[in-house]
Amino acid sequence: MAQAIELQKQRLQFEMVKNKIEAKSIHFSYQGVEILKNIELDVKEEEFLVLMGPSGCGKSTLLRLIAGLEQPQKGDIIVNGVSSTQKAPDCGVVFQDYSLFPWLSAKENIVLALKQKFKGKKTKKELQHLAGEYLELVQLGLSIKKYPGQMSGGMKQRAAIARALAFGSDLMLMDEPFGALDPLTRIYLQDLLLEINRDQKKTIVFVTHDADEAIYLADRIVMFSVGSAGTYTTSVDVPFKKPRNRKKMLASREFTRFREHILNIMNQGLIDNLEEQHEVGLDGEGI
Interface with ligand ATP (CB under 6 A): 30-31, 35, 53, 55-61
Residues 6 or more apart in contact with residue 129 via CB below 8 angstroms: none
String of contacts with Mg ion for each residue 29-68, x by CB under 5 A = -------------------------------x--------
DSSP of 105-158 = -HHHHHHHHHHHHHTTSS-HHHHHHHHHHHHHHTT-GGGTT--GGGS-HHHHHH
Q: Site mask, Mg ion, residues 112-151, x = CB under 5 A?
A: ----------------------------------------
Choice between 51 and 144, CB closer to ligand ATP: 51
231 binds Mg ion per the rule CB under 5 A = no
Q: Say which residues have a Cβ less than 8 Å from residue 248's Cβ, sequence separation at least 6.
A: none
Choose among ligand ATP, Mg ion, none what residue 80 binds, the Cβ cut-off being 5 to 8 Å by kind. Answer: none
Residue 73 or 256: which CB sits closer to ligand ATP? 73
CB of 63 to Mg ion, least distance (A): 8
Residues 6+ apart with CB under 8 A from 122: 114, 130
Q: How close are the terminal C-alpha atoms of the chain, in Å?
A: 53
Residue (58 or 92) nearer to ligand ATP, CB:
58
Cβ atoms of residues 104 and 151 within 8 Å: no
Closest distance between ligand ATP and the C-beta of residue 211, in Å? 14
Which CB atom, from 60 or from 225, has the smaller least distance to Mg ion? 60
* Kind plus residue range of the DSSP H or E element containing 255: helix 253-282
Residue closer to Mg ion, measured from CB, 60 or 105:
60
d(C-alpha 37, C-alpha 35), whole Å: 7
CA torsion through residues 190, 137, 202, 107, sign:
negative
Q: How far is the CB of 238 from Mg ion (least distance, A)?
A: 21
CB of 195 to ligand ATP, least distance (A): 26
For Mg ion, the closer of residues 60 and 197 by Cβ is 60
Dist. CA 77–CA 261, nearest whole Å: 30
